[in-house]
Amino acid sequence: MNDLLAALLLGILEGLTEFLPVSSTGHLLIAERWLGARSDFFNIVIQAGAILAITLALRQKLWTLARDWRAPENFDYLLKVGGAFLVTALVGLPVRLAGWELPETVAPVAWALVIGGVWMLGAERLSERLPERDRVTWTVAVLVGLAQVVAGVFPGTSRSAAAIFIAMLAGLSRRPAATEFVFLVGIPTMFAASGYALLEQLGDGGMPADPWGETALAFVAAAVTGFAVVRWLLGYIKSHRFTAFAFYRIALGLALLLWLPSGE
C-alpha cells in the first residue's frame, strides 16, 4: 500500500478510536499488520492530533471555565479536573518508571478488550440503579485519576472506558456528565503523556523515522476525525447506552484471540 495512504488511514483510525470506549491500542495493533509499523514519534504526533481534536470539540466548555473560573461552581469543577490529573501523574509516573505495563501484543490486548467489554455491560447496569447525578465529587475525581493509570498499565483497556464507567459507578451517574468530565481530564493527561514520551525518545537519541509529509497528514487526519467523533459521541450518549461498544469490544477481542498469533 502507498505509504501516504497508510499514514492517512492510521491517522483516521487514531481519531476514530481514541475517544470511543473501544481501545485505540487494539485497533492500531491490528492496523499495523497491514499498514506497517510506524515509529514512536509518529504515534506521539497522531495522538497530539487527537488532543487538538478534543480541545477544539470542548472549546465552549473550556472557555466558560476559563472566563468564569472565579464562580464557585466552575472553580470547584476545575479543582477536581486538576485533582484527577494530579492523581494520574503522581501514581502513573512511578508506575511508568518501574516498567509496570503489559506488552502491546495480541493476547493481553485481546483479553483487555473482552474483559473491558464485560465490565462495561455490568457497570452500566449497576449505574442505572443509582440516582441521576451530574455533580463531580472528590471521590469521582480520585477514581477517574486512578482509572487512567490502570488503563495505561493494561493496553487495550481504553482510558475513556475505564474512567467513564468508574465515574458513573462512583456517583456521576449521568452518562453525558461523566463523559465530559473524563474528556476534560484527558486533555492535560494526554498532553503530559505525549510530552513525556517525546522527551523519552529524544533523550534516547531517537529521531523521527517517518517522512514529515506522512506524519503531518496523519496528524491532520487524527485531529479532524477525532473532532467529529467527540462531537458525535457527546450527542449520542444523551439518549443511548454504551452497550453497542461493549459488544463490539468483546467481538473484537475474541477475534484477535482466535485469528491472530498471540506472540505478535
Structural domain contains residue 264: no
Single out the residue of 47, 77, 76, 66 nearest to residue 181, CA to CA.
77
Question: Which structural domain range is residue 75 located in?
Answer: 3-259
What does the alpha-carbon distance between residue 65 and residue 235 come to, in Å, rounded to a whole number? 21
What does the alpha-carbon distance between residue 176 and residue 134 come to, in Å, rounded to a whole number? 8
Sign of the Cα pseudo-torsion (162, 163, 168, 171, in order)? positive
Cell 456528565 identifies what position?
177
What does the alpha-carbon distance between residue 206 and residue 147 come to, in Å, rounded to a whole number? 30
- Residue percentage of the chain with pLDDT more than 70: 94
What does the alpha-carbon distance between residue 158 and residue 176 come to, in Å, rounded to a whole number? 18
Span 220-263, pLDDT tens digits: 999 999 999 999 999 999 889 999 999 999 999 998 888 766 54
pTM (predicted TM-score): 0.89
- Whether 184 contacts 234, CB under 8 Å: no
Span 15-46, pLDDT tens digits: 999 999 998 877 887 787 777 777 777 888 88
Single out the residue of 166, 160, 155 nearest to residue 124, CA to CA.
166
Question: Is 151 a residue whose pLDDT tops 80?
Answer: yes
Burial class (CB in 10 A: 0-12, 13-18, 19+), 104: middle
Cell 451530574 identifies what position?
134
- Domain count of the fold of the chain: 1
Mark out the alpha helices in 58-174 (DSSP H runs).
59-67, 72-98, 106-128, 138-153, 159-169
Structural domain contains residue 170: yes
